[in-house]
Structure 1
Amino acid sequence: MNDRKIERLKWRSRRGLLELDLLFERFWAKYTPELSDRDAQILDRVLQLADNDLLDMVMDRRACADADMRIMMQRLQEG
């Protein structure tokens, strides 16, 4: 994946909740080198979620029906 697309996703991952900013900071540090175009598409969908919905899904307080997005939520938790 090209650097411009990664930078765009990084910019969009800046959230209004400190908890999410910290999760994404660790996520980017760990997963940037191995991020595929498919991962970028999934991450784009994740970033369309409202902050509170996203935090609830990452913290397992709310179910995520999409299997691909669940994998991305796990990566955010592990980051």
Structure 2
Amino acid sequence: MSMSAETLLDERSLSKLRWRCRRGLLENDLFIERFFERHGDRLTEDLGAAMTRLMELADNDLLDLLLARREPEGELDDLQIHRLLHLLREPPDRQNSP
């Protein structure tokens, strides 16, 4: 594992990433906001870079990935993108149960 895989994003980088992740589709925003609420405080540089790559997609293409209608292909078919999608796809908590 590379050193950056262990390095957490600093507060400024996290803030920039959150701004970059603002989307045009509410559905995408809901997935992304839930992700940041759950994982933002321990987001690594590698996952942050993967998120940046996902944000380059068109809204409908991103939604297809988030809803698992399709899986990453080509340059997006790598371990960090798959790890990130796994975290993004986590179902919402049911009344904060364990």
Do these two structures clear the TM 0.5 threshold for a shared fold by scoring above it?
Answer: yes
2:60 corresponds to: 52
Q: TM-score with structure 1 length normalisation?
A: 0.90
Richer in helix (by share): 1
1:7 aligns with 2:19: no
Aligned residue pair count: 79
Superposed structure 1 runs of 4+ greater than 6 Å apart: none
Give the RMSD, CA atoms, in angstroms: 1.2
Q: TM-score with structure 2 length normalisation?
A: 0.74
Larger RCO (CA within 8 A; separation ≥ 6): 1
Structure 1's unaligned 5+ residue stretches are none
Structure 2's unaligned 5+ residue stretches are 1-8, 92-98
2:44 corresponds to: 36
Deviation at 1:33, TM superposition (A): 1.3
Identity %: 38
1:76 corresponds to: 88
